[in-house]
């Protein structure tokens, strides 16, 4: 368990984005909200930091990576360490999500096959649903068979925007 963590919120084209990081700079949880409790709530109770202190936006490498991502450097998020606690399969799944290239989303079935369990589509979807550091572990890059968006904790509009951005298409203002 991380004893202390910092939380910060920055503005993005997709709305407020809040990230929670430990003192080593590893992102524990993040998402498109300005509700700090919602971000901390993405973690299992045993994994929540005892103390969370707010810091101004743009004071961490993780915040700088979010800014760079939205400026077109989609690989910036890949350089930021994350820390997630889960089963062996979940941890393998979260690592596999980080290997999905921007602009090349997989279906849940393809993601399950990538994990070595081609028939475990529901398990693959569960790995995505339990992903706490959204964007840094890009679960938004997994789609339903046929290309439908499927679910996303932060809303389908955000998921579509991220996928369009990564495909080289920007959303008009």
**Residue 133 and residue 27 in contact, taking contact as beta carbons nearer than 8 Å:** yes
Residue 48: how many CB atoms within 10 A of its CB?
A: 17
Beta-bridge mates of residue 7: 20, 54
Is-catalytic flag, 128? no
**Residue 29 and residue 42 in contact, taking contact as beta carbons nearer than 8 Å:** yes
Q: One of 62, 76, 125, 139 is an active-site residue; which one? A: 139
Residue 4: half-sphere exposure toward Cβ, Cα within 13 Å: 5
Q: What DSSP letter does each residue of 109-172 carry, written as one string?
A: HHHHHHTT-TT-HHHHHHHHHT--BTTTS-GGGEE-TTS-----TT-HHHHHHHHHHHTT-PPP
Q: Is the dihedral of CA 22, 153, 94, 43 positive or negative?
A: positive
Quick one: DSSP state of residue 98?
H
- Just list the catalytic residues: 139
């Amino acid at each position: 368990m991380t004893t202390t963590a910092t939380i910060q919120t920055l503005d993005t084209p997709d709305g407020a984005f809040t990230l929670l990081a430990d003192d080593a700079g590893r992102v524990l949880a993040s998402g498109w909200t300005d509700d700090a409790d919602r971000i901390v709530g993405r973690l299992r109770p045993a994994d929540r930091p005892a103390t969370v202190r707010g810091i101004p936006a743009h004071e961490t490498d993780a915040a700088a990576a979010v800014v760079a991502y939205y400026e077109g450097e989609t690989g910036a998020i890949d350089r930021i360490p994350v820390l997630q606690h889960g089963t062996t399969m979940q941890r393998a799944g979260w690592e596999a999500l980080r290997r999905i290239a921007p602009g090349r989303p997989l279906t849940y079935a393809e993601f399950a096959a990538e994990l070595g369990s081609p028939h475990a589509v529901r398990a693959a979807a569960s790995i995505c649903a339990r992903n706490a550091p959204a964007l840094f572990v890009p679960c938004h890059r997994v789609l339903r068979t046929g290309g439908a968006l499927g679910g996303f904790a932060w809303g389908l509009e955000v998921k579509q925007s991220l996928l369009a951005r990564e495909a080289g298409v920007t959303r008009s203002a």
